[in-house]
A and B are shown apart, each in its own frame.
Chain A
Amino acid sequence: MAYIGQAVKRKEDYRFLTGRGTYTDDLVLPGMVHAAFVRSPYAHARIRAVRTEAALKAPGVLAVLTGEDLAKEGVRPMPVGWLLPTLKIPPRPVVAKDEVHHVGEVVAVVVAETRAQAEDAALLVEVDYEPLPAVADMRKALAPGAPELHPGAPGNVAFTWEIGDEKAVEEAFAKAHRVVRLELKNQRLIANAIEPRASLADYHPGTGEYTLYTTSQNPHVHRLMHAAFILGIPEHKLRVVAPDVGGGFGSKIYPYPEEAALLVAARRLGRPVKWAARRSESFQMDAQGRDHETEAEMALDPEGRVLGLRVRTLANMGAYLSLFAPAVPTYLYGTLLSGQYRIPAIHCRVTGVFTNTTPVDAYRGAGRPEACYLIERLMDVAAAELGMDPAELRRRNFIPKDAFPYPTPVALVYDSGDYERALDRALELVDYPALRQKQEALRKEGRYIGIGLACYIEACGIAPSKVVGQLGAQAGLWESALVRVAPTGKVEVYTGTHSHGQGHETAFSQVVADLLGLPLEDVEIVHGDTARIPFGMGTYGSRSAPVGASAIVRAVEKVLDKARRIAAHLLEVAPEDLEYQEGRFQVKGVPGKAKSFQEIALQAYLAHNLPEGMEPGLEATAFFDPQNFVFPFGTHVAVVEVFPETGEVKLLRYVAVDDCGHQINPLLVKGQVEGGVVQGIGQALFEEAVYDENGQLLTSSYMEYAMPKAPYLPAIEHDATVTPSPVNPLGVKGVGEAGTIAATPAVANAVMDALKPFGIRHLDLPLTPEKIWRALRDKAPVAAD
């Protein structure tokens, strides 16, 4: 009855595939009313006045709340959950009062009986703006004389941060045989969860209790932030429920101004208030991702061994600091710059920059894709400059498998890895030597295919809490689980993680069913409601399997330990004389002398015959704080054809070999890899959030912002190697972000490889047809190598 490792179909599928999921916008409460937000059309403006009279007179309107109103209510600015020594934290109001700093910022909230009435009335709120000079581009924001967003952040600098040994890097460069330089951009992206954000706030005047139903990846984080930091109410007066949530990719980690405004509106009106974002609001308001400009240099010896790496990055924070924004381009980025390679000296300096754009925060991968893209592009450029095969250059620099645990020069200790095995498997799957020959033959025919490798490392299940605290996190990154056994032996598991597409209800059930020897149906996973689950940190950073499932394992172990003592008591043997198999405590060597889990569960609640002094009941809570991150890895290979006539790119093949340690459910792993790869391809070829110089988002709808669509994608071939992690009981590593991290550099490298005969060294993402066509226009192919 081993479930772990089986491709069990998702328990969730029935309700999702038959349209029976319950999302926030599906909820209807008695007396419910609707909110619409008045948003700034300017990227930077002073608010002279907000006139609400006309809106208040409109049909159905119950209230119009302005920044002034919320200030009177004592509502505090949005919190920042990760501190850096030089960090400037400009206050980000729930509703802007004096100034707006990005397009879409909330200026007023209108509540009416119907959504249509609220939206109509929102157009009647007259805001008297005095437009101010805006700056959307980081370099312009840093230039002398640039408009400043916040008086507390001179020169628009949010922070400067560095990691690594600058002197050691200088020494490495001094003795380098060759230095490879690369300037690149990692463009801004929009998360685009399929379900736009939605919230429903309810207030009970009798008890003073609030309930916030909202699209959250971490309901307890939302509760803590909204209660303790924004509204200033006791946490026990706020319940946060995140029902079924249709994807997050990071964008639903953070508390948002709209949620706080709805809570205030619900209290003032004494009626439940709902808002569901229009897609255009998601484009403007959901935290966006990436947006780096980087200059990097890599020093190599004559054999192609990397001696040092120097990185200078500008990171666009947008107009304010979103909750975890300071961590993303620093501790989630600079610490990953060693990649899969033994690099003796690394130094990275990052400047965070405020601009009049939507705030940026973690988006699938969060810092790690930026690091991986940089290092993997550098590897390819270095290979080309050294005249080496890119696979060979990587192989020469891999951290060998016997070097783990491996401390990098940028603070992390990699838990386990076998990088060469994953590379070998990927190369074998594409038949690399034959593919290179084919490439050569096709070039002679005037056809240009490219082969791109990405040997990625990912750091997930960020831990332990003590260390992340030292790095600036204002939170612990452990996870909780409560395992509650019913008198019939059925099991409910309450997890602090949150599933918004990952399939936790299935994967976690597999783990529990295996450990308890029960059928899968006997296990129910409960998540997403602070009134039911223990305090927990939620789901992001591919942490749910390595941290969340580990907490579940620990809680099950506690339950089993108690059950064993009850069984021993009933069977009149010592606990160590029992073995637990297939749901039964069996006296070793005495067939037939056994007690089933269900019998023990019943006895635990009957409490008629328990060991002396034992409490009745059968449940246990565990908090798991891992001793280290886990470091999944793998090699992805993209094969593309570039058509020089139009600049179009066609993906011919995509092979992913991932090592996420032991797999709980290979089907879910495959799903995560495929979805992740597609998102990574999106960044390589299609997606880009573009602001004009006045801070207007030009790519503000699906007419302009290109998502990766099925006709442009190949079948994704997936394989795995298994290198268990030593830092958690299941030996698992996360896999939620791996595909995204790997696919962007794999595809970018493939396109640049195809363009190599034309002498084109680097193009920034996304690699759109016109960009490639322009690069190629004046270039004839030159003899290969």
Chain B
Amino acid sequence: MYPASFRYARPRNLDEALRLLQENPEAKLLAGGHSLIPAMKLRLATPALLVDIGRLAELKGIREEGEAYFVGALTTHADIARSSLPLLPLVARVIGDPMVRNLGTIGGSLAHADPAADYPAAILALEAELLARGPQGERRIPARDFFQGMFQTALGPTEILLGLQVPRLPGYRFAYEKFPHPASGYAVVGVAAAVLKEGEALKDVRLAATGAAYAPFRLEGVEAALRQGMGPKEATQGYTPPVPLAEDRFASAEYRLHLLRVLARRALERALGG
């Protein structure tokens, strides 16, 4: 289907983009277009104005900033897959297909907040911070506060996601286990793990899921069990998540719970092992 009529603006810089957003309450930001354009073609989204920030160089690329990396919102999945960022390359590699990875951006994906997208699990496990700019200036949003539900984030209507700060997490080991939907390729369940061991001692463990529920969440029960010395199998097999799980024609909530436990165990085994 064709989208409804809309106006199109391509601002030359971030300030201009912010001004366009403020002046046009029915504007939508366009980055890679991989979520917004399909929604527009189905007329699920009918923005009056598209503000195309896709070419703003200031939002692109990965920089080292002291103890952290800064990942610009317009960095593509393909660039992230090739980077030396912690955890995120493992995730970016299993997003969509090469065409999606070459055009889709991390900022667009995070701001869209599809409950079955791949990044959110990793962003929670990394405890990354998201950087946004709005009329009141810049603010940092911790990952745990960012995702607020299906397609809902902490971003205000006139804020632009600039990127995210990702801690280096030296010594950590990572894994991302994904059970893709055979049609859409989205995560039926995806579990990201970040663990730090010193010798045999577990110093830190972070485990987060996407796809399983209507928003990503940390598997704190599993993390606690591991800290108490349980192995991955014991820690995951009776795990009950803190939120109701999603259900669709491909996977019932019951099956999703099972997959969540299995993938959590596998992610831990992979991150902890060898």
Interface residues of A (CB under 8 A from B): 115-116, 119-120, 123, 278, 280, 645-646, 686, 690, 698-699, 702-707, 709, 712, 768-770, 773-774
- A-B interface, 7 closest residue pairs, ranked by CB to CB distance from nearest: A706-B183, A706-B182, A703-B184, A770-B255, A119-B2, A116-B2, A278-B1
Return the contact of B184 from the options A120, A645, A704 (Cβ within 8 A): A704
Interface of B is mostly: loop
Count: A-B pairs, CB below 8 Å: 49
Return the contact of A704 from the options B5, B249, B252 (Cβ within 8 A): B249
Q: How near does chain A come to B89, taking the closest CB pair, in angstroms? A: 19
Distance in angstroms between the alpha carbons of A702 and B183 in the assembled complex: 6
Q: How near does chain A come to B50, taking the closest CB pair, in angstroms? A: 15
CB-defined contacts of A773 to chain B, threshold 8 Å: 255, 258
Query: Which single residue of chain B is at the shortest CB-CB distance from A705?
Result: B183
A646-B262, A768-B250, A773-B258 given as contacts; is B179 within 8 A of A712 (CB)?
no
CB-defined contacts of A115 to chain B, threshold 8 Å: 2
The verdict on B4 contacting chain A, using a C-beta distance below 8 Å, is yes
A770 touches B252 (CB 8 A): yes
User: What band does the interface of chain B fall in when counting residues whose beta carbon is under 8 Å from A?
Assistant: 20 to 34
A646-B259, A686-B182, A707-B183 given as contacts; is B2 within 8 A of A770 (CB)?
no
Return the contact of A690 from the options B179, B249, B255 (Cβ within 8 A): B249
B249 touches A646 (CB 8 A): no
A704 touches B183 (CB 8 A): yes
The verdict on B251 contacting chain A, using a C-beta distance below 8 Å, is yes
Q: Contact string, B220-238, partner A, CB cutoff 8 A, digits 1/0? A: 0000000000000000000
Distance in angstroms between the alpha carbons of A704 and B250 in the assembled complex: 8
Distance in angstroms between the alpha carbons of A123 and B43 in the assembled complex: 11
Q: How near does chain B come to A627, taking the closest CB pair, in angstroms? A: 45
Q: How near does chain A come to B80, taking the closest CB pair, in angstroms? A: 20
Query: Which single residue of chain B is at the shortest CB-CB distance from A119?
Result: B2
Interface of A is mostly: loop
CB-defined contacts of A699 to chain B, threshold 8 Å: 249
Could you name 25 residue pairs across A and B whose Cβ atoms are closer than 8 Å? A115-B2, A116-B2, A116-B5, A119-B1, A119-B2, A120-B4, A120-B5, A123-B43, A278-B1, A280-B42, A646-B179, A646-B259, A686-B182, A686-B183, A690-B249, A698-B249, A699-B249, A702-B183, A702-B184, A703-B184, A706-B182, A709-B182, A770-B250, A770-B252, A770-B255
A703 touches B183 (CB 8 A): yes
Distance in angstroms between the alpha carbons of A690 and B250 in the assembled complex: 11
Distance in angstroms between the alpha carbons of A455 and B184 in the assembled complex: 33
Q: How near does chain B come to A501, taking the closest CB pair, in angstroms? A: 22
CB-defined contacts of B186 to chain A, threshold 8 Å: 703
Query: Which single residue of chain B is at the shortest CB-CB distance from A690?
Result: B249
Distance in angstroms between the alpha carbons of A706 and B182 in the assembled complex: 6
CB-defined contacts of A706 to chain B, threshold 8 Å: 181-183
Distance in angstroms between the alpha carbons of A690 and B249 in the assembled complex: 9
Distance in angstroms between the alpha carbons of A774 and B252 in the assembled complex: 11
CB-defined contacts of A280 to chain B, threshold 8 Å: 1, 42
Query: Which single residue of chain A is at the shortest CB-CB distance from B265?
Result: A645
Query: Which single residue of chain A is at the shortest CB-CB distance from B179?
Result: A646
CB-defined contacts of B183 to chain A, threshold 8 Å: 686, 702-707
B262 touches A770 (CB 8 A): no
Query: Which single residue of chain B is at the shortest CB-CB distance from A712?
Result: B182
Distance in angstroms between the alpha carbons of A307 and B36 in the assembled complex: 61
Distance in angstroms between the alpha carbons of A451 and B46 in the assembled complex: 52
Distance in angstroms between the alpha carbons of A707 and B182 in the assembled complex: 8
Q: How near does chain A come to B5, taking the closest CB pair, in angstroms? A: 7
Query: Which single residue of chain A is at the shortest CB-CB distance from B188?
Result: A769
Q: Contact string, B58-89, partner A, CB cutoff 8 A, digits 1/0? A: 00000000000000000000000000000000
